[in-house]
Structure 1
């Protein structure tokens, strides 16, 4: 029963999907972060459904690009994008680590957050439109299926980094979510990550290797950046990781769709 409570809590924390309401206790959150990739699986499944409906109704590529791009934001309520924006405000403040952590806690957004999310959105739409148009033009959807699987994979890696990497603060939401985790959660997330890589390779070995390698390199950068800028990872940096990881995979797939 405890694992089901953790899954419900994970969906309540990381998505806007309606869940049963009950009084949480700290022990109920024990495996919540291990269920984070399941939200990615839901996003991927819904994306597949929207894509199939668009094929049936012959929806224009630009409209489909917008529909699929906004879908993750609807499911998550912009939870991860909020973290991305907070990190951009803090990073670009050029203050010391303590001040940057305070900036990330501030509920208000600054100019750097708006500029960064605008740039991110334009890059995402450009490359995702390219990926969709090339896939539809060729009638080959393997790269799109990798894109759909990436929501699961990126969240599995995010969960692992949230547990393993040093935390920037002794207290905070991320600490609450990970303090009671143990070896079981690391194994679950590792298996989920391996399933994500396996799905990539199943659809296309070459693209799977490229995307997995790109995310691995970004993870190394992410650890270095978090340690340098904030003294470790936080809940906001985890959101930043999810957004950037998904964006990197979209770029990789779009480029591969041009080359091959």
Structure 2
């Protein structure tokens, strides 16, 4: 019974921390519930993906919406559902990296709530690329994009979880360091493996082998991103995880565009 309660709290915590969906409850945070929170992160991504896919399907079927307007609706919807949380991380990461300072200066900029010019330019480029890739995918595949809308947010968050589990934090303080200290790493690692295996099995059963390419691209992206943040920031932080989620989605949409 306690396990069920902890998992339910973890599910609600995942929505509280990683989305704009209101969960107006005071929830218990301990090693069990925080571990469940991270275990549910990819599932939250899958549910979000289902929301995007449903929106696209309904608009495809019952309206004459243009591909460009549909793309804009989807991208704005992604920002609304996540509350812009990951975009904020992308902006902070960009400001810090393009400061061309040492690691200490970059970490200080990550903590600075102000937004700089590099962050603004970088997020505009990111959103333009996402809009461009999704638009081209819609033009080429129409209903074929439905599985990609569903699974790309799921895979991006598996990538976030993998980076979090395999990379030391850049600081010993902050939420990322706290969560890193209380999670059950073995259980979360098993969860990641099971989710990846389950995804591959579904792709094989559905004979949708192009979707398997996405998980390979995700794993390669994780390896490169880990190397990059360790070199430039000395480890991972909440902002860098959010930035990874946004960057990974754009990368996966590029890969999807090549295989639709």
TM-score by length of 2: 0.91
- What is the CA–CA distance in structure 2 between the aligned matches of 1:49 and 1:78, rounded to whole Å? 21
Pick which of 207-216 and 50-59 moved more. Answer: 207-216
1:88 maps to what in 2?
94
1:105 aligned residue (111, 130, 138)? 111
Residues in 1 aligned to 2:188 and 2:6: alpha-carbon distance in whole angstroms: 13
Q: Please tell me the root mean square deviation across aligned C-alpha atoms, in Å.
A: 1.8
- Tell me whether 153-162 or 199-208 shows the greater mean CA deviation: 199-208
Q: After the TM superposition, which of the residue ranges 73-82 and 194-203 deviates more from structure 2?
A: 194-203
> C-alpha deviations, 1:33-70, integer Å up to 9, x for none?
11111221121111121112102122221111111111
* Corresponding position of 1:114: 120
* Structure-1-length-normalised TM-score: 0.91
Q: Is the CA contact (8 Å cut-off) linking 1:33 and 1:178 kept in structure 2?
A: no
8 Å CA contact retained: 1:146, 1:199: no
Q: Which residue of 2 aligns with 1:6?
A: 10
Structure 1: which 5+ runs fail to align?
none
Q: How does 1:165-176 map to 2 (within 5 A)?
A: 165-176=167-178
Would the alpha carbon gap of residues 222 and 254 (structure 1) be closer, same or farther in structure 2, given more than 3 Å must change?
A: same
8 Å contact from structure 1 (residues 149, 199) kept in 2: no
Q: What is the DSSP-based 3-state SS (H/G/I as helix, E as strand, rest coil) of the residue aligned with 2:40?
A: helix
Deviates more, 1:143-152 or 1:93-102: 143-152
- Give 1:245 deviation, angstroms: 0.8
5+ residue gaps, structure 2: none
- Rate the CA distance shift 1:49–1:226 in 2: closer, same or farther, 3 A: same
How many pairs align? 253
In the superposition, relative to structure 1, how do residues 94 and 203 fare at CA in structure 2: closer, same or farther (>3 Å)? Answer: farther
Relative to 1, partners in 2 of residues 1:88 and 1:201: Cα closer, same or farther, differing over 3 Å?
farther
Return closer, same or farther for 1:87/1:199 CA change in 2, 3 Å cut-off: farther
Asked if structure 1 preserves the Cα contact closer than 8 Å seen for 2:87 and 2:246, the reply is yes
**Do the aligned partners of 1:10 and 1:36 also contact (CA within 8 Å) in 2?**
yes
How far apart, in 2, do the equivalents of 1:51 and 1:33 lie?
Answer: 28
Deviations 1:171-202 (A, max 9, x none): 21112223221211221122223333444555
